[in-house]
A and B are shown apart, each in its own frame.
Chain A
Amino acid sequence: MKLKHKIKIISSMAKYLVSAGILSIGLIAPLALSSSANAATVSSRSIQMSTAAQGATGVTYTVTFTPSGTSVQSLVLDFCDSASSPIPGATCTTTAGVPDFTSASVSSTFMTSLTAGTKGLGQIKLAGSAASTASTAQTITISNVTNPTSAAQTTCTATNGSGCTFYARVYTYGNATYGTYSSASSIGSAVDTGGFALATSQSITITATVKESLTFCASKTQPSAGCTTGVAAPTLTLGHGTPVALDSTAVDTDTAYFGCSTNANGNVVVRIKGTVPTSPSSNTIPAVSAGGSAGPYSITAGTAAFGLRIGTVSGTDYSASGVTPIAKYNSATQYSWDTTSATNNTNLGAGDQIATVAPATDVWAKINFAATASLTTPAGIYTASESLIATGTF
């Protein structure tokens, strides 16, 4: 029965160790292994690592335990690799696969003025100026520790926690000089001992890729975000009266919209190019102000002209954010149709920029087209086709 009970206990311990290893964190393994000689066992012991990442630097190890009823004044923490064990006094390999305390510093609720003695790979010695209070839970904070590297723990993978394990042992002594401690396997006259199991883990790298996106539409009505709804064929008519006609008595207008959603970090340039209204006989309604590039310009009834503008009221003429109209098109009353710039509105150029769109999900702008005829504008049906071009820079 005793043998079975012991096997059960060890099995339970193993479960803790395996779970801790697989889930890649450093936790206490509540091993109840005996120490050497007549030493008692510290209880409620744990070592909490601020990060379990392999090779992490600046790590804080928080060591907690409750000593037995005997006061102590110094302690030794030994760390052993995954091939070793947490059993005090057993063989302990500290040359690789263990944390490095060379640059560590210490603070403590344990013993008065606890200071670090020897520090190095796999070991730190701590001594106080006075004896501790017995049987009181104690916490020692060891900062600036370097975790075992992945090179030292080559078997440590996300699915194989066993290679990530390493062990710690604590030995306490009644004097300030670590009793007769000699080495991890020769601990001398320790007051209390205890073993710990810890584990590092590989850092989990999560990669997320965001597709470059550009959704753009032209519509007679204001489109919704992403141009999913509210899109109508942008067929416009300039004129007034019945039947609708363009003459010299008025400046006639009609509107269309563009909608844009993008994540282009270099913004989207919206250009427009096409023709001025042209009849089958190749008569035209000319660009306002002879196609000047320094607009906006006024269109006066009776002076044949064609142009476009985006208004000036954010939220009404264009979306409250994400769009910036270009100056020559940004007017409440005046228009431009640039035929003179290098990048102009004619089909011969790349198109003239009318707005800039910043990364946003719901950007829109209302484009107001206007035209008037003069007395000499030849009769006919005038049409124009304007192409809105959105170019994102990613």
Chain B
Amino acid sequence: MFRLTLFLSLVFLIISLPLLKVNASNLGSRTIQMSSSMSDATDVTYTIGFTNSVPMTIGSIKILFCSNSPLLSDPCDPPVGFSASNTMISAIGNQGITDFYITPAASNYVILSRPSSQLLTPTAVNVILNGFHNPSGTGSFYARIFAYTTTDASGTYLDAGGLALSTSESITLASTVPPFLYFCAADSFTGYDCSSGTAYDNSLGVLSSSHTNFATSQFIIGTNAAYGLDVIVSGTTLTSGNNVIDALITPDLSRIGVSQFGFNLRANTAPSVGQDPVGPGTAIISSDYSVANSYKFNSGDIIVRTPGVVDAEKFTSSYIVNIGQNTLPGFYTTTITYICMGNF
């Protein structure tokens, strides 16, 4: 009978247990925002935030940092590598209580004192503290915020609350941008896409002493060479066996009936051929090839130059040919080579 009574008593006892109770702090919305979560980071800014849910006469606030627990009842082990010794209050950005000053800080706590205790109605408080040294390891660590009536965090605290923080590894990104020279030549391109180049031969048609024959080709440049690039033209004038059409060694206009072969990189009107360079690049055309309606061909000339990196730019070479009445008949050809040199 006694055992039965004991058993029933225990059952009743268990049933009658009240619900679990959790302590609540009147320092709500507690937060510490770190300017850097990197372990061992120095000169880190901690923005301390809380809201007192009931009016409090606050003279000081103590923020204690621990590696083991946010619970007020637990002993506090300072986080390894952490230091609050050099903290200072930011001159700007503080809210709620703006008259705090720091009582000389210890390694793992900061005491924010006020000139005098003053009643603080429920207010969101933000205090920006610079100069923390983060813990040396990654992972969680904790802070406990205590509010005191006294101005030096002495005596019994009014209220307190804990919170958790964390350090973590930084994400490291690495990428290598190689030296590159973007260059191509063809009869024409779509946009600045070298792969769109079409045809590499160009017919000037049947030459005549009564008009100018012309044709075009294009080349695209671009480079990240720190000292830019040079584009050099190389080749011969039009020849047919031993017969030649005179190259314009010096810039000149297109003259019908005069044996001439030359080119430039501009939009011309006499004859109407070519176009100015297009694209985001800003390369410089050599002056001899940069005047509309003025043509030249001298193998080995630098025709385009950039002093530094240059974005994509497309140039149009406008070739003109004139012959004289005494130009011997034949099949005249030439091969023009454009050479681009990056200066890295």
Interface residues in B153-212 (C-beta closer than 8 Å to A): 161-166, 168-180, 182
* B180 in contact with A392 (CB, 8 Å): no
* A19 in contact with B5 (CB, 8 Å): yes
CA distance A134 to B156 in the complex (A): 67
Is A112 close to B, CB under 8 A?
Answer: no
Interface residues in B266-281 (C-beta closer than 8 Å to A): 281
- Contacts A211-B70, A387-B37 hold; do A20 and B179 have CB atoms under 8 A apart? no
User: Which residues on the A side are within 8 Å of B34 (C-beta)?
Assistant: 389, 391
User: Which residues on the B side are within 8 Å of A371 (C-beta)?
Assistant: 173, 175
* B170 in contact with A375 (CB, 8 Å): no
* A376 in contact with B224 (CB, 8 Å): yes
User: Which residues on the A side are within 8 Å of B38 (C-beta)?
Assistant: 387
* A209 in contact with B226 (CB, 8 Å): no
Please, how many residues of chain B have a CB less than 8 angstroms from a CB on the other chain? Answer: 67
CB-nearest residue of chain A relative to B309? A376
* B175 in contact with A382 (CB, 8 Å): yes
* B29 in contact with A266 (CB, 8 Å): yes
Q: Chain A: interface residue count, which band?
A: 35 or more
Is B115 close to A, CB under 8 A?
Answer: no
CA distance A43 to B23 in the complex (A): 48
Is B91 close to A, CB under 8 A?
Answer: no
Contact of A381 among B37, B49, B176 (CB under 8 A): B176
Closest approach, in angstroms, between the C-beta of B332 and any C-beta of chain A? 37
User: Which residues on the B side are within 8 Å of A204 (C-beta)?
Assistant: 13, 16-18
Is A76 close to B, CB under 8 A?
Answer: no
CA distance A342 to B225 in the complex (A): 36
* B176 in contact with A244 (CB, 8 Å): yes
Is B340 close to A, CB under 8 A?
Answer: no
User: Which residues on the A side are within 8 Å of B22 (C-beta)?
Assistant: 207-210
Q: Mark A186-211, 1 if CB is under 8 A from B, else 0.
A: 00000000000000010111111111
User: Which residues on the A side are within 8 Å of B176 (C-beta)?
Assistant: 239, 243-246, 380-382
Q: Indicate the member of A244, A256, A385, A394 with the most B CB atoms within 10 Å.
A: A394
CB-nearest residue of chain A relative to B36? A387
CB-nearest residue of chain B relative to A50? B16
CB-nearest residue of chain B relative to A30? B1
* A235 in contact with B172 (CB, 8 Å): yes
* A214 in contact with B164 (CB, 8 Å): yes
Which stretch (B100-108, B134-142, B284-292, B317-325) binds chain A? B134-142
User: Which residues on the A side are within 8 Å of B18 (C-beta)?
Assistant: 203-206
Contact of B9 among A19, A207, A208, A209 (CB under 8 A): A19
Q: Indicate the member of B6, B71, B178 with the most A CB atoms within 10 Å.
A: B178
Closest approach, in angstroms, between the C-beta of A351 and any C-beta of chain B? 8
Q: Indicate the member of A15, A216, A277 with the most B CB atoms within 10 Å.
A: A216
Closest approach, in angstroms, between the C-beta of B27 and any C-beta of chain A? 9
- Contacts A235-B172, A383-B174, A389-B34 hold; do A206 and B20 have CB atoms under 8 A apart? yes
Is A151 close to B, CB under 8 A?
Answer: no
Is B222 close to A, CB under 8 A?
Answer: yes
Closest approach, in angstroms, between the C-beta of B123 and any C-beta of chain A? 16
Is A238 close to B, CB under 8 A?
Answer: yes
Is A33 close to B, CB under 8 A?
Answer: no
CB-nearest residue of chain A relative to B19? A206
* B2 in contact with A19 (CB, 8 Å): yes
Interface residues in B1-44 (C-beta closer than 8 Å to A): 1-2, 5-6, 8-10, 12-13, 16-18, 20-23, 29-38
CA distance A285 to B174 in the complex (A): 12
Contact of B163 among A254, A302, A392 (CB under 8 A): A392
* B33 in contact with A391 (CB, 8 Å): yes
Closest approach, in angstroms, between the C-beta of B132 and any C-beta of chain A? 13
* B8 in contact with A390 (CB, 8 Å): no
Is B331 close to A, CB under 8 A?
Answer: no
User: Which residues on the A side are within 8 Å of B165 (C-beta)?
Assistant: 214, 391-392
* A20 in contact with B9 (CB, 8 Å): yes
- Contacts A204-B17, A247-B177 hold; do A392 and B171 have CB atoms under 8 A apart? no
- Contacts A206-B21, A375-B310, A383-B172 hold; do A392 and B164 have CB atoms under 8 A apart? yes
Is B73 close to A, CB under 8 A?
Answer: yes
User: Which residues on the A side are within 8 Å of B224 (C-beta)?
Assistant: 373, 375-379
Is A105 close to B, CB under 8 A?
Answer: no
User: Which residues on the B side are within 8 Å of A236 (C-beta)?
Assistant: 171-174
* B168 in contact with A390 (CB, 8 Å): yes
* A376 in contact with B17 (CB, 8 Å): no
* B309 in contact with A378 (CB, 8 Å): yes
CA distance A285 to B176 in the complex (A): 11
Q: Mark A9-50, 1 if CB is under 8 A from B, else 0.
A: 000100110011001110100000000000000000000000
User: Which residues on the A side are within 8 Å of B222 (C-beta)?
Assistant: 375-376
CA distance A385 to B179 in the complex (A): 23
- Contacts A214-B165, A218-B169, A350-B35 hold; do A246 and B20 have CB atoms under 8 A apart? no
* A215 in contact with B162 (CB, 8 Å): no
User: Which residues on the A side are within 8 Å of B164 (C-beta)?
Assistant: 211-214, 262, 264, 392, 394
Q: Which 5 A-B pairs have the closest CB atoms?
A: A23-B9, A375-B222, A214-B164, A216-B166, A238-B175
Q: Can you list 17 contacts pairing A with B, beta carbon distance less than 8 Å?
A: A25-B12, A203-B16, A208-B22, A210-B22, A237-B174, A254-B173, A277-B173, A369-B171, A375-B180, A380-B176, A380-B177, A382-B175, A385-B170, A386-B170, A389-B35, A389-B36, A392-B165
- Given A23-B12, A216-B166, A237-B174: 20 more A-B contacts, CB < 8 Å: A20-B5, A25-B8, A51-B16, A203-B18, A204-B16, A209-B71, A209-B73, A211-B162, A216-B168, A218-B168, A234-B170, A236-B171, A262-B164, A266-B31, A277-B175, A350-B35, A367-B171, A378-B226, A382-B175, A390-B166
Chain A residues packing against B (C-beta within 8 Å): 12, 15-16, 19-20, 23-25, 27, 51-53, 201, 203-219, 233-239, 243-248, 252, 254, 256, 258, 262, 264, 266, 269, 273-274, 277, 279, 285, 302, 350-351, 367, 369, 371, 373-394
